[in-house]
Each structure stands twice: as structure tokens, then as C-alpha cells.
């Protein structure tokens, strides 16, 4: 019998919230989720608010993630942040390969193939984002896209580490659009991703957590979170208000 997977609800703040805004948010969030059990909670603030959020969440059930990371230990990479800089301040993990970074900042599968193992080597939990565009879905290319991203981005992760990766399925057409994948679409894609991991390691496929992301809101979270291959959510817009984010956490709690 496999261990049940503990759901993870992570809030991707993107380029929102100053340190003062972040402090106000966390002050409102912690009492709202203090009694929830059986769920892991993560927030992903901009780099400048990471230290403050690590300090303000210490001793709570909230983990703090970065939104991106370089793979190198250090070097001439202007504007980038290295894994050791995140672990120095006790950051728990990092989002990698978000579609906005792939599209707007040129993050490639080749770079991600180095970033995912670099995060794991430093003890950071990577949340690797994958997903198809609307055009790719209409062309029937969803599985081809997911296969390419999963295979390449995880290619250098050793089999015994694969189960520590968190994968977020975020169909690009559902991000920030108010359009959510139907439960059938979300389940089908997440099951496909799990099967891809299973081609490398069946044990990893059972332990890897697969999140859904794309217009997750308090009113659709429970339905998505009940699906067998969905182990949590990566939430954008609805993670910016403590009340709506706490409601989504509540939908995942025991
Ligand atoms: P929304 O929840 O705003 O659609 O954003 C999803 C997302 O990109 C999370 O990483």
C-alpha cells in the first residue's frame, strides 16, 4: 500500500506585494488556516519579500518558495539568484519553468534540465510547471507538449529523487483568464503526467505530487482537488487575498 500523498496548496504571487503587503497578508492568513490538517501550504513571494516571509511564517504550517532560480552556484549571471542564496535564508523550494518565465524571460527546457536537479541537490523542493497553449490543445498536441517538457526537464533527476519533485500542470490558456480546465481535462493531463513519471520509476509516480494551476478559485477548488491524480493547486490571482487563499486551503484539508 502506498503512502497517501499530502496535498499542497501553493500561492504564486507573481510580481505582486511589497514587503509591507506581504506582512499584512500573512498576518491575515495564519489565523485562518491554523487549524487545517492534512494539507501543506506554500506561498511564493517575489525575491525581496522572501526573507520577511520566512521570518513571519517560522513555526507555522506555511512554507516559502521562490518563483525562479538559476542552476549555477554563482557566476556572471546579472539579475539571477543561486540555489545557495535561497537555502541561506531557509527558503523551502522554488517554482521552476512557469509559463510566464518560459514565454517572457526565455526560460528553456535545456536550462530547466539543470535547474530541477540543482534545486534537489540543495534540498529545495522544485515546483516544475508544464502545460500547453490553447493552439497546442486545439491541434491535439497537448500530450506531445507535456511529454517533451516532462522528459527533458526531469532528464537529469536521478530516479531515487524523482518523487521529491512537485509538478504543476498549468494549461496556459487557463492562466489568469478565468477559464478553468474541466475536471476531465485536468484529470486526464495529470494522469498522463503521472504515467510519464512512471516510465522512469513506478515508485516515483506514486509519490510525486501533481498540482493543477489555472484560474483555481474557492468555488472550483474542491471539485478539482477531489480528482484522483490531482494533489493540490498552484494558485495565482486567488492567492493574493488571505480569505480566498484560505478557502482553497480549506478545500484541500482533511
Ligand atoms: P491564476 O490562478 O491567476 O490563473 O494563475 C495561475 C498561475 O499561473 C499560477 O502559477
Cα of 173 from ligand 1 centre, angstroms: 10
Residue 103, pLDDT > 60, answer yes
DSSP-assigned states of every residue in 81-118 = --HHHHHHTT--EEEE--HHHHHHS---HHHHHHHHHH
Mean pLDDT in the chain? 97
Cα(168)–Cα(128) distance, rounded to whole angstroms? Answer: 6
Ligand 1 lined by 96 (C-beta under 6 Å): no
| Set of cell numbers at residue 2 | 502506498
Q: What is the greatest pairwise CA distance in the chain?
A: 48
Cα(93)–Cα(146) distance, rounded to whole angstroms? Answer: 22
Cα(121)–Cα(221) distance, rounded to whole angstroms? Answer: 32
Residue 209, pLDDT > 70, answer yes
Is 136 an active-site residue? Answer: no
Cα(159)–Cα(100) distance, rounded to whole angstroms? Answer: 28
- % of the chain residues with pLDDT over 90: 96
pLDDT per residue over 138-197, tens digit each? 999 999 999 999 999 999 999 999 999 999 999 999 998 888 889 999 999 999 999 999
> What is the best residue among 104, 236, 241, 245 to mutate for testing ligand 1's pocket, by most ligand atoms within 8 Å of CB?
236
pLDDT per residue over 57-80, tens digit each? 999 999 999 999 999 999 999 999
Name the residue among 193, 185, 180, 186 with its Cα closest to residue 237.
180
pLDDT per residue over 14-64, tens digit each? 999 999 999 999 999 999 999 999 999 999 999 999 999 999 999 999 999
Q: Whose CA is nearest to atom 1 of ligand 1?
A: 236
> What is the best residue among 68, 101, 216 to mutate for testing ligand 1's pocket, by most ligand atoms within 8 Å of CB?
216
DSSP letter (8 states) at residue 64: E
Cα of 238 from ligand 1 centre, angstroms: 8
Catalytic residue among 98, 100, 122, 136: 98
Cα of 237 from ligand 1 centre, angstroms: 6
Nearest atom within ligand 1 for CA of residue 168: 10
> What is the best residue among 170, 174, 179, 180 to mutate for testing ligand 1's pocket, by most ligand atoms within 8 Å of CB?
170
Q: Where are the beta strands (DSSP E) in the chain?
A: 8-12, 40-44, 62-66, 93-96, 125-130, 166-169, 209-213, 232-235
- The CA–CA distances, whole Å, from 133 to 123, 137, 147 equal 31, 6, 14
| Set of cell numbers at residue 13 | 504571487
Q: For residue 137, what pLDDT band results from cuts at 50, 70 and 90?
A: very high
Q: Count the neighbouring beta carbons within 10 Å of the beta carbon of residue 93.
A: 26
Is 98 an active-site residue? Answer: yes
Residue 1, pLDDT > 70, answer no
Q: Count the neighbouring beta carbons within 10 Å of the beta carbon of residue 236.
A: 22
DSSP-assigned states of every residue in 162-230 = GGG-EEEE--GGGTTSS----HHHHHHHHHHHHHHHHHH-HHHHHH-EEEEESS--HHHHHHHHTSTT-
Q: For residue 123, what are the contacts with CB-CB under 8 A and spacing of at least 6?
A: 87
Ligand 1 lined by 84 (C-beta under 6 Å): no
Contact 90, 62 (CB under 8 A): no
Q: Count the neighbouring beta carbons within 10 Å of the beta carbon of residue 211.
A: 27
Contact 249, 33 (CB under 8 A): yes
Amino acid at each position: 500500500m502506498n503512502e497517501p500523498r499530502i496535498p499542497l496548496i501553493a500561492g504564486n504571487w507573481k510580481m505582486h506585494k511589497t514587503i509591507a503587503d506581504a506582512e499584512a497578508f500573512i498576518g491575515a492568513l495564519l489565523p485562518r488556516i491554523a487549524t487545517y490538517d492534512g494539507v501543506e501550504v506554500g506561498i511564493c513571494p517575489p525575491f525581496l519579500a522572501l526573507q520577511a516571509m520566512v521570518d513571519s511564517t517560522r513555526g507555522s504550517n506555511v512554507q516559502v518558495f521562490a518563483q525562479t532560480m538559476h542552476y549555477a552556484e554563482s557566476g556572471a549571471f546579472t539579475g539571477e539568484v543561486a540555489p545557495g542564496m535561497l537555502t541561506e535564508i531557509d527558503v523551502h523550494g522554488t517554482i521552476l519553468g512557469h509559463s510566464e518565465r518560459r514565454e517572457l524571460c526565455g526560460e528553456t527546457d535545456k536550462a530547466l534540465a539543470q535547474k530541477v536537479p540543482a534545486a534537489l541537490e540543495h534540498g529545495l523542493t522544485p515546483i516544475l510547471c508544464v502545460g500547453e497553449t490553447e493552439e497546442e490543445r486545439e491541434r491535439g498536441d497537448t500530450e506531445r507538449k507535456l511529454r517533451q517538457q516532462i522528459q527533458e526537464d526531469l532528464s537529469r533527476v536521478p530516479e531515487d529523487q524523482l518523487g521529491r519533485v512537485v509538478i504543476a500542470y498549468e494549461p496556459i490558456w487557463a492562466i489568469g483568464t478565468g477559464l478553468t480546465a474541466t475536471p476531465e481535462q485536468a484529470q486526464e493531463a495529470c494522469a498522463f503526467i503521472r504515467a510519464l513519471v512512471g516510465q522512469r520509476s513506478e515508485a516515483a509516480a506514486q509519490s510525486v505530487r501533481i498540482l493543477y494551476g489555472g484560474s483555481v478559485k474557492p468555488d472550483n477548488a474542491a471539485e478539482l482537488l477531489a480528482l484522483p491524480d490531482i494533489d493540490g493547486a498552484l494558485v495565482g490571482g486567488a492567492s493574493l487575498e488571505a480569505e480566498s487563499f484560505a478557502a482553497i486551503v480549506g478545500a484541500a484539508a482533511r
